[in-house]
A and B are shown apart, each in its own frame.
Chain A
Amino acid sequence: MNIKWSLLVIFFVIVTVLTGCDPLMVLDPKGPQAQTQANVIWISIAIMSVITIVVCAFLVFVLVKYRDSKLPKDYEPPYIEGNHLVESIIVGVPILIVIFFSVVTIISNNKVEATPEKYKGQDPLVIYASTSDWKWHFSYPENGIETVNYLYIPTKRPLEFKLYSFGPITAFWVPQLGGQKYAMADMVTTLHLAADEEGEMMGRNANFSGKGFAQNMFHVEAMSQAEFDDWVKEVKDTAEPITEAKFNELLKPGYTGQLTFTGTHLGFSPAPEHHHGSKDSNEDVNDEYMEHDHESSNESAHNYE
């Protein structure tokens, strides 16, 4: 009797997990990458529920049928050896499932690690996202602006985030756009995202980084390219330029609200690209960054007017 109750509780909980009340952030994607991930999650939930239900059903059957109190007094369990047919089923079925999941994984990995297919051919908007204790700095080299703790993005255009950190390892995560990736002090990681529809979203640092971790969030707003361009223009007209002194002030541990600047910190405090820890690589970084990203992005910026 008790077993049944516990299983009922478990089933109830699983059902709750599967349905949820409101759409859960991760399962309510607003971009192609998050969509891919949500699909993978749903496929795995479906197949895994079947496995769980089979195991539970068999367990309940065995417990009900072979419990001591229900069996005749003289019942003596037989000695068992393995059975080849049974064993090949319990090995074979999981192997098939793992093969299926492997294929799904390889396909989805390549999808989420590349520019979203829908928007291929477009030049991505490159945004440098870096953290300091406990803030987010977003640099838009293409537009020559920088924000702190909020992120405005155009919809229907691939976004290429360049992630790094001025302190502990952090993780850039906007659940509705796609999964997270680490930002580290000694290298730059790249995350390809895109937003399909306009709207406000939550973004945060997902990797524990000390005292201010819980507040290490940022506000994300996806808007049409036209609105985005208006915003950039407005920033350029109204915001203060970022200076090295001001930026170094921001790097110190502490909290701030949302800030907006013209210019980016990449000029005087470049991202650790091709760094690999060598001592004199700082200058190389500067050069390479100027060549690859900044200027090429600047050229392409006009294509979307």
Chain B
Amino acid sequence: MGYFAKFAVPHPSPAIYASMIAIGVTVFLVIFGLTYFKKWIYLWSEWITTVDHKKIGTMYLISALLMLFRGGVDALMMRTQTAVPDNKLLDSQHYNEVFSAHGVIMIIFMAMPYIMAFMNIVVPLQIGARDVAFPRLNAISFWLFFMGAMLFNISFVIGGSPDAGWSSYFPLADNEFSPSVGTNYYMIAIQIAGIGTLMTGINFITTILRMRAPGMTLMRMPMFTWSAFVTSIIIIFAFPVLTIALLMGTMDRLFETKFFATTDGGMDMLWANLFWVWGHPEVYILILPAFGIFSEIIPTFSRRNIYGYKSMVISMVVISLYSFFVWTHHFFTMGQTAYVNSIFSITTMVIAIPTGIKIFNWLFTMWKGRIRFTVPMLYSIAFIPLFTIGGVTGVMLAMSAADYQYHNTMFLVAHFHNVIIPGVAFAVLAGSTYYWPKIFGFMLNERIGKWAFWFQTIGFSLAFFPMYITGLDGQARRMYTYSEATGYGPLNFVSFIGAAFMAISFVLIVYTIYYSIRHAPRHVGGDPWDARSLEWATHNPVPEYNFAIIPQVDSREPFWDAKYKGHELFKGDYKKIHMPNNSGVPFIMSAIFFVFGFALVFSMWILAVISLIGIFVCMAHRSFEIDHGHYISVEEIKETEVKMGGNHK
């Protein structure tokens, strides 16, 4: 029994036991269902082994949605706990685990894959390519992210969750103050997912630079592709820092090295520096593609081209550069001199300028337009004032003298939710609705979607605006409870109601999906929104090869000009198309990575060595494999095109 004791959860509660049962039942049902409906082979050959960017994107999307619910439940638990003073629902240990998990899941396992989902689904289509540059690497990226996410999630029921916050500051995260394996999970799960992300960055830079359709110069690329490109560049500069920081942290925890210890030459500040050198660019990794999504939606539903295309591009590049010069604002309070703090104050505030340009460009895009209030557009409209408030409070936080008063308070919590929810969450919700027909071939119900939107927006406002006030009234973040005398009670209760509204919104979103699967009409055509960019020039859902003929681009909005100005997109005849073959190796290798990670978490060295060998065997297999892909014949293309209801010729 002694051997199994280490897998026990150190602080079990009824909620954890219930989750264990729920996970067990779900796993059983999935296995039973797949067997009963004889879907194992379908699942394996169509999804698990796929290298198709659209399917990988779809899997990212589904995983991100699942994680959104996991992180959302955590958020609800936190707001329920703090709804009234002296609440006894969660104890402090449980609360610490919940907010640590909430932060990690929402940033790394929800927002990131959601952004990756759109990059995967949209970018190759927008640039008129047939796939990404390295399709199999893309599959590995996805499966590494997925296995990282799963590894992080099982911490909850096997061995204990991390409890040192999502930023996991040392020495709190060190063995002395966090003795459970929770922080091992943190270090290793994020590492595995992070390696996947880094490869995605490389993949998309190559794709965007090398695989654009003829005629699409850099300055003709759609805004979302631009944002994906800039984001990928930030990724390849920022993620290696995270890799090293996590590696050092893992060594500190597993091998008693002293990189971040406060004795023997270690420096706890070093962790904070490395973490935020990655962590602040990470915020822009999330927000820039979100800006990209809004820059696709707003012109479409304003029936206008984007205002100030060049300044949009330039501001994005400037933001990406500046994102590396601001990390110190996360610890203005760490005892730097007034001189250092002033410099980082200014570099941080400067980011507001290009961001402000973008806000005004979106406003000018709508001006003189013809605005349709669809669900994606509603999210984009609500984004503008809400994000502006989040942005200006960011400038307030950037003034370091004042930051001494905001730091670590609910004011800060309000601020970053005020940028990330209207910025990233609204963007991915808008993007999901907008691209849904592209992915699945039918539209989501607009009426239920609008209800979800209103619950989301009002819920968001109720949940987070009161936090500005309690923050200025001295409520620190991450407090699991507070006394009645503090007077934080009423406003925290308002926040709780807001959180409940947001929960209702997410239930409605699920209901829209369910309702639309049942009732929405199929065959909506390739261009249901009357959109402007190339991804809408092909069928819904998109055939395996994306475009039967690679489009010719003559302008910035090729598809719009093809529809209304008579440009010709598809010239020439069908030719046979070369496509990559599916492969099970990415999945198998990532699954072994999962085992490797699990073995490391519990210091099971024999298993770790065996699985490490397994990973190298998978790599060696690829080196010796001869795989030239396959061709889709002209007959097959013709057949598919006719079946899809359209014929470009």
A residues adjacent to B (C-beta < 8 A): 2-3, 6-7, 9-10, 13-14, 16-17, 20, 22, 24-27, 34, 36-37, 40-41, 44-45, 48, 51-52, 55-56, 58-59, 62-63, 66-68, 71, 75-80, 82, 86-87, 90-91, 94-95, 98, 101-102, 104-106, 108-114, 133, 167-169, 171, 173, 175, 178-182, 184-187, 189-190, 202, 204-214, 277-279
Contact = CB atoms under 8 A, between A and B. Distances in A.
A59 B363 CA distance: 7
B169 A25 contact: no
B524 interface: no
A208 B401 CA distance: 21
B369 A66 contact: yes
B359 A105 contact: no
Contacts of B96: 208, 210-211, 213
B262 interface: yes
Interface string B357-375: 1011101111111111100
Contacts of B469: 16-17, 20, 24
Contacts of B32: none
B615 interface: no
Given A10-B385, A206-B408, A40 B402 contact: yes
B92 A211 contact: yes
B274 to A, nearest CB: 15
Contact of B262 (A94, A178, A185): A185
Interface residues of B, number: 100
B172 A94 contact: no
Given A44-B395, A66-B302, A102 B349 contact: yes
Main secondary structure of the interface of B (DSSP, over half): helix
A277 to B, nearest CB: 4
A77 to B, nearest CB: 4
Interface in B171-212: 171-172, 177-178
A96 B253 CA distance: 48
B594 interface: no
Interface stretch (B303-311, B533-541, B577-585, B618-626): B303-311
A117 to B, nearest CB: 14
Contacts of A178: 404-405
B404 A77 contact: no
B529 interface: no
B385 A105 contact: no
Shortest Cβ-Cβ A-B pairs, 10 listed: A179-B404, A189-B335, A108-B401, A168-B172, A48-B392, A185-B262, A109-B338, A25-B474, A113-B338, A82-B308
A104 to B, nearest CB: 7
B523 interface: no
A37 B305 contact: no
B385 A80 contact: no
Interface string B141-177: 0000000000000000000000111000101100001
Contacts of A2: 454
B382 interface: yes
A37 B364 CA distance: 36
30 contacts: A17-B465, A17-B468, A22-B487, A25-B474, A41-B396, A45-B396, A51-B356, A56-B385, A66-B367, A68-B372, A77-B304, A78-B368, A80-B305, A82-B310, A90-B360, A91-B353, A98-B349, A101-B349, A105-B342, A111-B401, A113-B338, A171-B333, A180-B405, A184-B334, A208-B164, A210-B172, A212-B92, A213-B478, A277-B267, A278-B265
B223 to A, nearest CB: 14
Given A52-B388, A63-B381, A41 B402 contact: yes
A36 B268 CA distance: 30
Contacts of B304: 77-80
Nearest to B358: A90
Interface string B461-474: 10001001101111
B338 A75 contact: no
A186 B174 CA distance: 15
B263 A277 contact: yes
Interface string B447-479: 000000010011001000100110111101111
B353 A66 contact: no
Contacts of A82: 307-311
B516 interface: no
A66 B356 contact: no
A180 B308 CA distance: 42
Given A25-B472, A168-B169, A186-B262, A90 B356 contact: yes
Contacts of B266: 186, 277
B563 to A, nearest CB: 13
A94 B370 contact: no
Given A41-B396, A55-B385, A95-B353, 11 more contacts: A9-B461, A24-B472, A67-B373, A68-B371, A76-B370, A80-B365, A98-B352, A169-B169, A173-B408, A189-B334, A208-B165
